[in-house]
Structure 1
Amino acid sequence: MDKRRIVIQGVEGCFHHIAANAYYGEDVEIIPAENFAKLIDLINDEAVCDGGIMAIENSIAGSILQNYGLLQDSGLVIEGEIYLRIKQNLMALPGQKIEDLKEVHSHPMAINQCRAFFRDYPNIRLVETEDTAISARNIRENEWKGIGAIAGDLPADLYDLEILAEQIESIKNNQTRFFILKRKKDVVPNGGFTKASLYFSTSHEPGSLSYILDCFSKANINLSKIQSLPIPGINWEYFFHVDLEFEFPSQFKTVMNKISETAKEMTILGTYNQGIVIR
């Protein structure tokens, strides 16, 4: 059986790669995309891949707003989700100690998550780069001594680096949520789904949004996420992206029928099972 080809944003070893392995297993072919727009384009090309994975929000940094907009226009379907606990490690070429390091490179978000650790090492200069895994790869490719990287577990294995300090992030329960994306024609119907993502707009009539939210509540459906997005070209009007959790698919189907006349431009992005947390 051929390996499944999965598109990620970033390079091999990044957190998208770790999440893809956690969801699909390690026997996958990783296809890197330099940005999220390119990721969407690649997933839509069936000659390139079987599907993809895209970060949508982080428990510290919040929603990745551009990705909500990309999803609306993508034509792709959310097949599932996964939550990855973000562990940041300090790594360098083998044989070095923390005291040998003059610089540590990583993505700005990773650096911010680890600043407290480096207060004990005031002589180390923190250098912002485009990606955690790229920082690790650069050390190996250039054989840089005296330079470390902050990254997850996987880059240390891929690029043969030694982890000098594990889990140096200040907040230990930081998680990133990823959507598993497929082309619509490739999705196998899931009759037992317990979660759904959709977006819609409403009229400017008083109470139109509150009516929809009240319908969810009365159907015993948990609104686990609501995110507003401007409607391009229409000032001060918004799409609402919502994630819904429920016990039975029939709850979701009933409430969709009830709000269909009030919600405008409503599109279901996907129905799926609630994701697990990978620690």
Structure 2
Amino acid sequence: MKNAKRSPARDLFFCDNTQTIIKKMKKIISIQGVRGAFHQEAAVGYFGGNIDIHECITFQQLIDSVENGDSHFGVMAVENSLVGCILPNYTLIRESKLQVVGEIYLRIVQNLIASIGESVDTIVEVRSHPMALAQCDLFFKNHPEIRLIESEDTALSAKQIAELKLKGVATVASQKAAHEYGLDVIASSIESNKENYTRFLILEKKSIAKIPSGSNKASITFTAKHQPGSLLQILKPFAENGINMTMLQSLPIVGKKWEYIFHADLAFMSAIDFYQALEYARQYTSTLKILGVYRSHEMVEQPEMQDSLVHYC
């Protein structure tokens, strides 16, 4: 480690009180989904309630909206504590012109919601996102008579039930979605495991993004050289500098048979130690990219959302 390159302090730019500032300023936040989506709850949990929400049907649209300047930030789910990583989203972030500037962990409470007057006994079909259905597998095992239909979004399914006045049809979604669309919660907290958290990343255009003060976490992506021990050599300097690798995920590289790219999250106490370890590891990589350096976030319960403050573009 003696020969590792030490990054000069002037190369590290930190913006004081970033999260405090953005909470005081009204921002447009892009989310995947419609009103009542868990992405909206994550946005409120991170930025506060005085925001404008820009709804995007797909994650690619979310990326595009921030890149094009239609919104200031994007909030994107990347991982769930029960079902694992959302692998395509890591690829979208890596290939985008955005930078990770924050994160939030949101406790996910799933509810069975339907039109007013319905009950669990009257439901014959449930439409919801496949991840939401998977998180409630024990509930549905006790109700084999209910047909499960995968849809693109939890809150969008709630919206469709309300607009089409569907009978005998329910969705798995948040209480906020039920409130937004005038539906009824007919079974609450049906998730199989109450320790159900989703991690969301906060994204901003690289050209204007700044590293928040107090940053103690980084997301990187890299490919290892095709030589024995290269992955070990990449990971070694982080361990030697007391840097905790909180996540390591491999993804196949499209068009390259049996070749993989790695995504890693690293928690550190000293930014200097992090950059020093990174420069040492770089010599054993074919490619290496920092997706963002930011402040780690505690796990939170679902926030209260004030309808008078949250607006929609």
Task: Settle same-fold status: TM greater than 0.5.
Answer: yes
Distance between the aligned counterparts of 1:125 and 1:260, measured in 2? 51
Distance between the aligned counterparts of 1:6 and 1:50, measured in 2? 6
Q: Supply the AA of the counterpart residue of 2:78.
A: I
1:39 to 2:62 alignment: yes
Measured at CA, do residues 119 and 251 of structure 1 come closer, stay the same or move farther in structure 2, by a change above 3 Å? same
The answer as to whether partners of 1:192 and 1:248 remain within 8 angstroms in 2 is no
Deviation at 1:173, TM superposition (A): 0.9
Match of 2:212 among 176, 182, 190: 190
Q: Supply the AA of the counterpart residue of 1:89.
A: N
1:22 to 2:22 alignment: no
Deviations 1:153-185 (A, max 9, x none): 210111111212210111111211111000012
Q: Supply the AA of the counterpart residue of 1:36.
A: F
Superposition RMSD in Å: 2.0
* Structure 1 SS opposite 2:191: coil
Deviation at 1:233, TM superposition (A): 4.2
Q: Supply the AA of the counterpart residue of 2:40.
A: H
Measured at CA, do residues 21 and 258 of structure 1 come closer, stay the same or move farther in structure 2, by a change above 3 Å? same
TM-score normalised by the chain length of structure 1 = 0.92
The answer as to whether partners of 2:238 and 2:278 remain within 8 angstroms in 1 is no
Counterpart in the other structure of 1:128: 150
% identity of equivalent residues: 43
Distance between the aligned counterparts of 2:259 and 2:146, measured in 1? 48
Match of 1:9 among 16, 23, 32: 32
Counterpart in the other structure of 1:109: 131
Match of 1:55 among 77, 82, 98: 77
The answer as to whether partners of 1:56 and 1:63 remain within 8 angstroms in 2 is yes
Measured at CA, do residues 212 and 124 of structure 1 come closer, stay the same or move farther in structure 2, by a change above 3 Å? closer
Counterparts of 1:102-181 in structure 2 under 5 Å?
A: 102-181=124-203
Deviation at 1:137, TM superposition (A): 0.8
Compare 82-91 and 111-120 and name the one that shifted more. 111-120
Q: Supply the AA of the counterpart residue of 2:285.
A: A
Match of 1:262 among 284, 307, 313: 284
Distance between the aligned counterparts of 2:144 and 2:97, measured in 1? 49
Deviation at 1:270, TM superposition (A): 0.4
Compare 123-132 and 158-167 and name the one that shifted more. 123-132
Q: Supply the AA of the counterpart residue of 1:31.
A: H
Measured at CA, do residues 192 and 112 of structure 1 come closer, stay the same or move farther in structure 2, by a change above 3 Å? closer
The answer as to whether partners of 2:135 and 2:192 remain within 8 angstroms in 1 is yes
Deviation at 1:120, TM superposition (A): 4.3
Measured at CA, do residues 177 and 141 of structure 1 come closer, stay the same or move farther in structure 2, by a change above 3 Å? same
Distance between the aligned counterparts of 1:226 and 1:198, measured in 2? 10
Higher relative contact order (CA 8 A, sep 6+): 2
Unaligned runs of 5+ in 2: 1-23, 302-313
* Structure 2 SS opposite 1:111: helix
> How many matched pairs?
278
Unaligned runs of 5+ in 1: none
After TM superposition, which residue ranges in structure 1, 4 or more long, deviate above 6 angstroms? none
The answer as to whether partners of 1:193 and 1:248 remain within 8 angstroms in 2 is no
Measured at CA, do residues 227 and 125 of structure 1 come closer, stay the same or move farther in structure 2, by a change above 3 Å? closer
The answer as to whether partners of 1:191 and 1:249 remain within 8 angstroms in 2 is no
Compare 110-119 and 13-22 and name the one that shifted more. 110-119
Counterpart in the other structure of 1:216: 238
Counterpart in the other structure of 1:237: 259
Distance between the aligned counterparts of 2:133 and 2:193, measured in 1? 12
The answer as to whether partners of 1:56 and 1:179 remain within 8 angstroms in 2 is yes
